[in-house]
Structure 1
Amino acid sequence: MSPKGYSRGQIALHWLAAGVIAAQFLLEDGISAAWRAVEGGEAFAFDPLILAHVVGGVAVLLMAAWRLALRFGRGVPDLPVGDPPLQRLVANLTHIGLYALMVVLPITGGVAWFGGIEAMAEVHEVLTTLLLVLVGLHVAAALYHQIWLKDGLLMRMKRPLD
């Protein structure tokens, strides 16, 4: 039997991960500049944004693992009754994609940065763009449910219902 809503821990991890991922996008200038310097054979000065990006990536990976453990251990609420099959499929694929990217992006970034592997940096960039698209789709879907359908779906991620 699926729970009616998300637990307090699932909700906290969702919003914390969202905040860290947003910061990763907004504060990536330091590591991008350092990577360009490395590609050009130049030295780069330490920038706290580099460390923040690396720590943020590790944090996203750990939160994804914790979220997956909660998801498989506790379960998640069912999708809304009455959603069309295609919408349910897109919702499921979007969630799978988000979780996969929260695991794979920190790994590709770490391999690129610490291994100096340019091809992995390119993979990281492409996957970063894909993550941005999936996050946008996720947010759009939440707003669609809240504003258009008015089905209360967003409330499941605002407060525990069980």
Structure 2
Amino acid sequence: MRALHWLVAGLIIAALVMSAFVMPGIRHDSPEKIDALRRHMSVGLIVLLLTFVRMAARRRTERPGFLSSGMAWADRLARYVHRIFDLLILAMIASGIGMAAFGGVFPAVFGLTGTLPAGFDASLLHEVHRAIGITIFALLALHVGGAFYHQFILRDGLIGRMGLARR
């Protein structure tokens, strides 16, 4: 379960980095843009499949005991953060598929045409996709901040439970 968690986390971070820092710098009429979109969409599809696997595994796998932060609001949030991530990931991928389908991106990505349609990224779905990405990034920062709080302030060994501590 830990390996799956870290694999999905790494892929999500890679997709966010691609969309925020790599793709905006490539012109729409460049073949590199199609390649970048192809990679971004491939990562998204892999994340979708692994998210379903992770959701199923979470139902069948015993989880370690809950570590309280001592703050009721933070404990409530912590209990739901992975479910919120799952919902955001599914919404992100659905908006990406919708953006690609309605924006006419699939023919270029699958090699049927050599160019992307003009304005494919100027749709409402693109804005939704972008907003979800920003929300995922913010939730990720909150999640990492919570882990650091547990490890360095509460000193309760949370990082070791996540498979990141030295043995």
TM-score bracket, normalised by the shorter chain, equals 0.7 to 0.9
Query: Partners of 1:93 and 1:121 in 2: how far apart?
Result: 27
**2:69 is aligned with 1:78:** no
Percent identity of paired positions between Structure 1 and Structure 2: 28
Q: State the secondary structure of the residue aligned to 1:78.
A: coil
**2:55 is aligned with 1:55:** no
Which AA in structure 1 matches 2:138? V
Alpha-carbon spacing, 1:32–1:111, altered in 2? closer, same or farther (3 Å): farther
User: How many Å apart are 1:134 and its aligned residue?
Assistant: 0.2
User: How many Å apart are 1:102 and its aligned residue?
Assistant: 1.7
**2:102 is aligned with 1:111:** no
Which AA in structure 2 matches 1:156? R
Counterparts of residues 143-162 of structure 1 (less than 5 Å): 143-158=148-163
Q: Which residue of 1 aligns with 2:5?
A: 14
- RMSD across aligned positions (CA): 2.2
Asked if the contact 1:113/1:121 (under 8 Å) is kept, the reply is: no
Query: Partners of 1:63 and 1:154 in 2: how far apart?
Result: 23
User: How many Å apart are 1:76 and its aligned residue?
Assistant: 2.1
Count how many residue pairs are aligned between Structure 1 and Structure 2.
Answer: 144
Q: Which residue of 2 aligns with 1:142?
A: 147
Which AA in structure 2 matches 1:23? A
User: How many Å apart are 1:49 and its aligned residue?
Assistant: 1.7
Which AA in structure 2 matches 1:132? F
Runs of 4+ in 1 over 6 A off after TM superposition: none
Range that drifts further, 119-128 or 72-81: 72-81
Match for 1:94 among 81, 86, 89?
A: 81
User: How many Å apart are 1:77 and its aligned residue?
Assistant: 2.3
Q: Which residue of 1 aligns with 2:116?
A: none
Asked if the contact 1:109/1:124 (under 8 Å) is kept, the reply is: yes
TM, length-normalised to structure 2: 0.76
Match for 2:53 among 66, 70, 91?
A: 66
